[in-house]
Amino acid sequence: MGSHTAVPALLGALGDRDGEVRAAAATALGRLGTAEAATPLLVALTDGTVPRSVGGQALLALGDAGLDSVRALTGAEDVALRATAIDALGWIGGAADGPRLAGRLRDPAADVRARACAALGRLGAEEGAAALRAALGDRIPFVRAAAATALGRLADHDAIAALAAQAHGDEHAPAAAAATALARIAPAAVGVAAAAPGAGPHLREAADLLELAA
Amino acid sequence: VSLEGFMEAFGIVAVAYFAALNGLYLVFTGVAWRSISRHLRRRRYDGADERFASPLTPGISILLPGFNEEAGIVASVRSLLRLRYPDFEIVVVSDGSTDGTLDRMREAFDLVPVRKVVRDALPTAGIRATYASRLHPALFVIDKANGGKADALNAGVNAATKPYVCAIDADAVIEEDALLRVAQPIIDDPERVIATGGIVRIANGCRIEDGAVAEVGLPKSRLATLQVVEYFRAFLVGRVGWSEMNALLIISGAFGVFQRDAVEAVGGWWTGTVGEDAELVVRLHRHMRERGEPYRIAFLPDPVCWTEAPEDLRTLSRQRRRWQRGLAQTLWRHRGAFGRPSHGAFGTIALPYFAIFELVGPVIEVVSYALLPVAVILGLLSPVYLVAFGVVALLLGLLLSVSALALEEFSFRRHPSGREVARMLLYAVDRQLRLSPAVRRMAADRPRRRAAPPHRLGRADAQGHRDAYSAPGPAAGLTPSGTSPSQPTSPPSAALLSTFSDSRPHFSRVALSSMPSSSRTKSLSRRSSSSTFMPLTSSEVSDALAWLIAQPWPENLRSATRLSASTEIVTFSSSPHSGLLSSYSRSGSRSRGGAGSNSWGACSARGSARGTGRPCVSLRRSGGPRRARRRAGRRRRAWSARRTTRGWCADAQALHQRLGAVVAGAHADATAARGSRRRRAGARSRARTRRARRGPRPRAGRTRSCRDVGEAVERVADDVDLVLAHGVPSRARGGSRPRRPGRPPRRSATCRPRTSRARRRSGSRRTTRG
């Protein structure tokens, strides 16, 4: 019906003790596109009170209507809520959110940093490229991997050297991500790097896969 | 303790057992109704489409381990490539295949070698090469040294790049939306859900086209239909119930999704068990419980995976025994988790349940059945009470089976035909009357031989899959000295694995499972219900027989009889159902493998283990009349040939008779040699003394030499060629029998004298006329 008069009741239903009711309420709120539903939906997603696929779809359906709330929650105190908000911003935000997300790359929580990297990559925010290059030196491997993947998506040519170094000498996950990113940004460089003696296995794999695709 | 006291105590145990088991199942039935109803309601607003579109759907690496899957691997991969999932890769692991598995893959998917990074997160046998497909960027093939299914899966995990891995049997038929369905709990709750599994259904009777179930149907076989009902009960009631308690111990080896990090954290699939799928799940439970981390192992009631069930009692029996063995190994390994309150329902309910009701239960039931008449005779049990108890037990079991069936019909309704539903209802009754006790008896029946080395054991299919993962595994556990120097050094030709054309319906499907020479094993086995079964063409049958003939047989059958624990199996039959050549194998174990199975468990070099150091051969019955089967069961070491000579195919009958003559002699020898234990011991002692005095003496008399067997097989091979070359002269088809060149034609049945009197008359008439 699309009636906004149901919004308060639906928001209340997000706290229902029955999971099916909560899920149905989340779906309905997403369809209605009401801005005030964004925060409760993010909270519900974080708490796991609504299934993630349902909550995620509801947030996507909200789109721009929920953007302000989501932006505000990227600075929330709760780490999990912050991480979820950054994730959501990566889906519904825009390139203009780059600086906000780049700021989150210095977050004390590694999960938040990794999600910020992924969000920057999804949004294609070039403003975050420098911060992402810096994140290649993060002490947490999965953050480095996320940063490398994001740089690959951004096709940041300034990161080629850093990515090559990471692909050569880092742990498995960040090295694999760096090699894949390098293959996206500079396929020719991968071939050269892989041919060099002592090239890491990830560069060789990336070179082989590039050759295969060609 | 008096007998009466014992009986009384046991009676209490049995009644408590009965009450607890049925009570639990009743509770589970209620839980399952609630859970499945909820699941179905949810599908209205959160279906596969939503998950497909969701950005939160994680990537999954599909692991497809296989050994010598030449015939089916391409179709399996093609069906997987059709899966509807936004982000997945396929990692095919060829576990030391010796056939054309890699060639078929190379041809079909344009594979080229790539230097793929395979981590060493889990220890595995050596990786030989890695390939990627030009046609499908998400398809990779790992060629590794043979190490068993668990080892192959571990190698797949090492090569996987996605956060979740999905273990799939090479012969399982996976529905198009299966990954999306089974990933639902992971998408919903990725922080907590570390593994999910879906229902496995029986594909017998279904029409399968292009690797997908095109039409659902019930099997024609009664035993398979009984299992359909049994699976409903096990999956829709049992697993759903355990899942609700977060105490699910088994995720199907045929189709299960696991968080890769969790699998790596617990050390991957254990290669030392036949039940590696269940063992992994139990280990995951323990790992998470001991760390106090919140987690969930979920089960989805959606029908997602189809697999074939055994259609004969013998295969079913072997399958169930293997399950029991796997369960015992798992429970023993994790005995430390029993009853620990910190382990929640997993430690306090599920593990004790499986130990008491699944592992020991069959023994309790068998003993109860045995003691019931004793109790009645001794007057300890009122016959009226006994009858009442039996009726209650029957009705309760029936209620549970029918409830499971109703659950299926009111929810997923994959069998829309009312006739099929009625048939299943009948079988539900039948199941209660027959299968349950029968299966439990089988499970309680202790294996007659030691377990084969773990890596040789068949696909650990705790859910009802057949043992079709045919890799024999490396020869660990078999000392190199156990391999006879006279063994062939090369495996049989890969060309032996191909398809019998439909023009030869008189042959049942015949398979040759080629195995590495190190395993000193070769089997040509019949598995009528196996999709990975490798039927043979005429030339391939000839090749196979020629290969077998060329093998150095033991010097005589008598010695081989004594070594028949390392049974070599040769079975010829003329039944149209079992095939002319039903099985022929070397160095295969008998009851747990050999004919009818190409599983890892199929072959054990028992002969070599006994220090004979030479190959041996024996013949055994693979079917036939019930009475004969019973006798064969009693005389496990006897040699016999299939007696079915009902003449569906005269050639087959002739072949059978030829071999049968040899076999009958051998059988008589074996019978004579057995005698009583004392006589045997005495005979052996005397023989030893004789040998010591006189040295080896030539065999004579009725003992058939290996040459006899070789010649018989050679003749059979000729006849096989003849039959295949000239077609089937089946009486049913009214065709003419092929003739061996240079042999006079036989008289037709119509002009052949049927009685001795008629023959005399005929002869006298001819004489008179002449």
Q: Which of B115, B122, B184 to mutate to test the interface with A (most CBs of A within 10 A)?
A: B115
DSSP state of B204: T
Tell me whether A91 touches chain B (CB under 8 Å): yes
Q: For the segment B575-611, what is each residue's pLDDT rounded down to a tens digit? A: 222 222 323 333 333 322 233 322 222 222 222 223 3
Give phi and psi for B92, each to the nearest 5: -90, 130
Residue-wise DSSP of B493-535: PGGGS----TT-TTSPP-EEEE--GGGT-EEEE--TT-TT---
**Tens digit of each residue's pLDDT (9 = 90 or more) over B679-736:** 656 666 676 666 666 544 444 333 344 445 555 555 555 555 554 454 433 333 333 3
The reported pLDDT for the residue numbered B391 is 86
Pairwise CB contact (< 8 Å): A27 & B42? no
> What are the angstrom distances between the C-alpha of B338 and each of A50, B163, B270, B348, B671?
34, 31, 20, 6, 49
Long-range contacts of B23-28 (CB under 8 A, 24+ apart): B24/B353, B24/B357, B25/B237, B25/B238, B25/B400, B26/B400, B27/B241, B28/B237, B28/B238, B28/B240, B28/B241, B28/B242
SS3 B568: coil
Beta carbons of B600 and B473 less than 8 angstroms apart:
yes
User: What is residue B543's DSSP assignment?
Assistant: H
Partner A contacted by B53 (CB < 8 A): yes
Q: What is the value of ipTM here, to two decimals?
A: 0.86
Amino acid at B541: V
Instruction: Report the chain B residue with the minimal C-alpha distance to residue A209.
Output: B114
Give the Å distances, CA to CA, from B753 to B657, B746, B750: 21, 12, 8
State pLDDT tens for residues A50-102: 888 888 888 888 888 888 888 988 888 899 999 999 999 998 888 888 888 99
**How far does B473 lie from chain A, in Å, by closest CA?**
29
SS (H, E, C) B100-128: CHHHHHHHHHCEEECCCCCCCCCCCCCEE
Of A27, A56, A208, Cβ closest to residue B45: A27
CA distance B156 to chain A (A): 16
Residues in chain B with CB shorter than 8 Å from the CB of A91 are 55
Please name the residues in contact with B575: beta carbons below 8 A apart, sequence gap of 6 or more.
B623, B642, B644, B646, B648
Residue B744 has what pLDDT? 41
Q: Does B20 touch chain A (CB under 8 A)?
A: no
Q: How far apart are CA B163 and CA B177, in angstroms?
A: 19
CA distance A51 to chain B (A): 4
Distance CA(B632)–CA(B636), nearest Å, equals: 6
Instruction: Collect all residues of chain A within an 8 Å Cβ-Cβ radius of residue B53.
Output: 57
CA dist B276 → B154, B167, B173, B282 (Å): 11, 12, 21, 10
* Partner B contacted by A53 (CB < 8 A): yes
Cβ contact A104:A90 at 8 Å: no
Sort out which chain A residues have CB atoms less than 8 A from B192's CB and list them: 48
B51 part of contact set with chain A, CB < 8 Å: yes
- Nearest Cα neighbor of B273 from B213, B197, B328 is B328
DSSP state of B220: S
Angstrom distance (rounded) from CA B93 to CA B105? 11
Nearest CA in chain B to A177: B161
For residues A149-167, average pLDDT: 90
- Candidate from B42, B115, B190 with C-beta closest to A208: B115
Separation CA B563–CA B611 (nearest Å): 10
Per residue, the 3-state secondary structure of A165-191, as one string, reads HHHHHCCHHHHHHHHHHHHHHCHHHHH
Distance CA(A30)–CA(A51), nearest Å, equals 14
Q: Beta strands B139-144 and B193-202: pairing type? A: unpaired
3-class SS letters over B607-644: HHHCCCCCCCCEECCCCCCHHHHHHHHHCCCCCCCCCC
Q: Mind telling me how many Å the CA of B164 is from chain A's nearest CA?
A: 14
Q: Does A60 touch chain B (CB under 8 A)?
A: yes
B372 CB near a chain A CB, below 8 Å? no
Query: pLDDT digit string (tens) for A123-145?
Result: 887 888 999 999 999 999 999 99
Alpha-carbon distance values, B139 to A209, B81, B87, B158, B378 (Å) = 11, 8, 12, 15, 69
Q: Which residue stretches of B43-117 are H helix?
A: 48-53, 73-81, 101-109
What is the interface size between A and B, counted as CB pairs within 8 Å? 69
- Chain B residues 151-180 with CB within 8 Å of chain A: 161
Query: Which residues does chain B have with pLDDT short of 50?
Result: 435, 437-438, 440-441, 443-542, 544, 546-625, 635-659, 662-663, 666-667, 695-707, 723-724, 726-770
CA distance B694 to B705: 20
Tell me the chain B residues in contact with residue A208 when contact means C-beta distances shorter than 8 Å: 113-116, 132
Q: Which residue has tokens 């068993």?
A: B148
Higher-pLDDT residue of A175 and B755 is A175
- Global confidence as pTM: 0.65
